[in-house]
Structure 1
């Protein structure tokens, strides 16, 4: 009986924690490209360097679409999460280190990895209170200045599919647990 009670409690806690944990990351799969400004200083990529990433979204807090959070990610040319975000809150969206800032904090510090890569893609997301999401991509290159690029469908699809597969995996795990628990309780 004690084991059954423990199992039910564990299952209940899991069903509460997993949706809260993945909700922010799940919103990214519906992100649309936007024209807000992302500034990265310094402008060229160098290994083991500290960067200041600033978002200028031109939103007014009286607008019907208020900003809820800003999310930032950094990717290598192989589409892997790289570097370290030096912020108070980070999240792990399908193995992608993500800096999380509230609506009042439009800057974050990022330290590039101590490795020999040619460029880094910085992705900035704005999550609004109505749960809509906009994003912008900035490329840091070793030879040239920072360039703003249109979102690459391939890399965005990869991160979206990782989020989707992660959510599917969680659902697949929870379903048998729910069935076992319902059998034990009946």
Structure 2
């Protein structure tokens, strides 16, 4: 039932919008009772949080794909960057929904910030100048900030790709991002 509810919520939130979708709409689409809804989720925001967790997990896999490259070169990183954008185009509705999610609830924003910390740790596996496993606190925070800025660039590219609003050449942008990231190798 939980899976049916999450799938129905994904579809309705993307098609109609989160604010325009009522709990009643969700109950009908998932073919569940009100009691079942509240067994799994406290409210609509809690359901949106579950969708955010799924989105964060997908993005985590993107960063893990990058980590699997070992010591990547510029072209491999550029190809990875493009793939993130292409995947975001395929998931355009979810990407837009996640932008709304962080605006609706501060707890959801904190989830995304914590996720960036995890992505940063993954980046540190391949890019030694982003490795956060160092004892010097100030340098660790500088590396964390640098990683977060790079991650925000990835998220912005993904978001713009999803919306179809990316107006720069994707190949040039991908290689430029890759060269920026390779500075931390």
TM-score range, shorter chain: under 0.3
Structure with a larger share of its residues in helix: 2
TM-score computed with the length of structure 2 as normaliser: 0.24
Structure with a larger share of its residues in strand: 1
TM-score computed with the length of structure 1 as normaliser: 0.24
- Give 1 or 2 for the bigger CA radius of gyration: 1
